[in-house]
Amino acid sequence: MTSAVAKYLDTRGPGLHHITLRVDDIEGVLGRLRAHGVRLIDESPRPGAEGALVAFVHPSSAHGVLVELKQTPGRAASRSGGVLAPPTAALDASATVPRFNTPTRYQLGALELLSLSDGFFHLDGGAMFGVVPRTLWEKRLPPDRRNRIPLAMRPLIVRGERTLLIDAGCGDKMDAKSADIYGLERGYHLDHALDEAGLAASDIDLVLASHLHFDHVGGFTAKRDDAVVPRFPNARYLAHRQEWEDATHPHERNRASYWPENFVPLAHAGVLALVDDEAEIMPGVRLRRSGGHTRHHQMVMIESRGTTAVFAADMYPTCAHVPDPWVMAYDLYPMETLAFKRQFAREAIEREYLVFFEHEPSMAAGVIRERDGKRTVERVI
Ligand SMILES: [Zn+2]
């Protein structure tokens, strides 16, 4: 016998090893515990026996008792109203994708980078990988029963001369129907992450949009009573001039992604500034137009003392998008995405940029490596 329990019996004799609590929304429970400062052994759920998801709470936070949280197959709560999802024979494959949402800190020269989480959502796997067949992408990100893959929303804070927030997740204005379509999991969200990082909404000086799609800027505004207002009370909000033009004049193909309530109230409140290509946001931080996804989609280059990080937004939504032709069907100009990636990937590999993957469920950032023509991402945070 070599199991953990056998070892425990060998050294301590019979007694209580741990207790198990059944939960319906293990992600949400972990988020709430973390927000209350509870020490966790598992920051995110991992596969347990019989298709369950489990996570352990450290005994030091539970009066010396090891506590296991367990979500059994079919017990996942529906996000629209806490109603239990119908039982399934097998757990959704997507539930086995490791989800990582702990705030992480990285010192880039003189700048401090804080990767935060606004929770997770789901998009159609086919749409996320364009012409790449499911038989290939499902090995990287297994889909759920509705063919959706789990995706993170990871805003980034850059602290230097000022405190800058890049993107802000989807926020809390989504109605129940959309929350169900997008499989929203926000048991732990940006407010929790800011809190854990020791920041308040009022500490943010600048809020920058990579582009104005709802999963990037939904958190720019919030409902207060019946009004929708800027969520960061002291911040100046920055968006690219032509992206703003496109977002406020949508067509049939992009209308579903541009939700006016996420950005129009900023203009009304007088807190919006429009910037152009290559704009310097603050010392060491500048825009770099990639186009492709939207005509004026921007990456953010962050440089200090000879080291470079890049907030890639929807150019590299996940690590699986690192091969050049793995381009989203959502992209309005996929050939432009391909052209940009071909050239940018060479640069990122040669100069060992730290790349932030905004939608990657399992990590925040890494360095792209290439060996024998095969690309991988070496996780850094
Ligand atoms: Zn987008």
CB 142 within 8 A of CB 100: no
CA of 107 to the centre of ligand 1 (A): 27
Tell me how far the alpha carbon of residue 339 lies from the centroid of ligand 1, in angstroms. 18
Ligand 1 centre from 108 Cα, in Å? 26
Q: How many angstroms is it from 257 CA to the middle of ligand 1?
A: 7
Bridge-based pairing of strands 104-108 and 148-152 is unpaired
Buried b (16+ CB within 10 A) or exposed e, 291-312: bbbbbbbbbbbbbbeeebbbbb
Q: Give the distance (Å) from ligand 1 centre to CA of residue 215.
A: 7
Which CATH class name applies to 100-379?
alpha beta
pTM: 0.77
Ligand 1: distance of its center to the CA of 293 in Å? 7
CA of 216 from ligand 1 middle (Å) equals 7
What is the distance in A from the centroid of ligand 1 to the CA of 275? 19
> Measured at the alpha carbon of residue 289, what is the angle toward residues 286 and 294, in degrees to the nearest 5?
135
Residues within 5 A (CB) of ion ligand 1: 213, 314
How many Cβ atoms from other residues are within 10 Å of residue 256's Cβ?
A: 12
CA of 270 from ligand 1 middle (Å) equals 25
Asked if the domains at 1-76 and 100-379 fall in one CATH topology, the answer is no
- Ligand 1 geometric centre to CA of 98 (Å): 23
**Per-domain boundaries in the chain:** 1-76, 100-379
The span from the CA of 366 to the CA of 68, in Å, is 31
Compute, in angstroms, the gap from residue 256 CA to the centroid of ligand 1: 11
Find the 110 Cα to ligand 1 centroid distance in Å: 30
How far CA 224 is from CA of 74, 171, 236, in Å, comes to 35, 13, 19
Superfamily of domain 1-76: 2,3-Dihydroxybiphenyl 1,2-Dioxygenase, domain 1 (3.10.180.10)
User: Cα(185) to centroid of ligand 1, in Å?
Assistant: 18
Q: Which residues pair with 152 in a beta bridge?
A: 120
Alpha carbon of 61 to ligand 1 centroid (Å): 40
Ligand 1 centroid from CA 363, angstroms:
19
In the reported structure, the alpha carbon of residue 323 is separated from the centroid of ligand 1 by a whole-number distance in angstroms of: 19
Please tell me the distance between residue 59's alpha carbon and the centre of ligand 1 in angstroms: 41
Of 290, 301, 306, which is closest to residue 355 (Cα–Cα)?
301
Encode the chain (381 residues) as per-residue pLDDT tens digits. 456 666 766 777 777 778 888 887 787 777 777 766 778 888 788 777 766 788 888 887 787 788 888 887 654 443 333 333 333 334 567 777 888 888 999 999 999 999 999 999 999 999 999 999 999 999 999 999 999 999 999 999 999 999 999 999 999 999 999 999 999 999 999 999 999 999 999 999 999 999 999 999 999 999 999 899 999 999 999 999 999 999 999 999 999 999 999 999 999 999 999 999 999 999 999 999 999 999 999 999 999 999 999 999 999 999 999 999 999 999 999 999 999 999 999 999 999 999 999 999 999 999 999 999 999 999 999
Where is 122: in which H helix or E strand? Answer: strand 120-124
Q: Determine phi and psi for 234, rounding to 5 degrees.
A: -105, 10
Q: What is the pLDDT of residues 114-154, one digit of tens each?
A: 999 999 999 999 999 999 999 999 999 999 999 999 999 99
CA of 371 to the centre of ligand 1 (A): 30
Calculate how far, in angstroms, residue 267's C-alpha sits from the geometric centre of ligand 1.
21
CA 161 to ligand 1 center in whole angstroms: 28
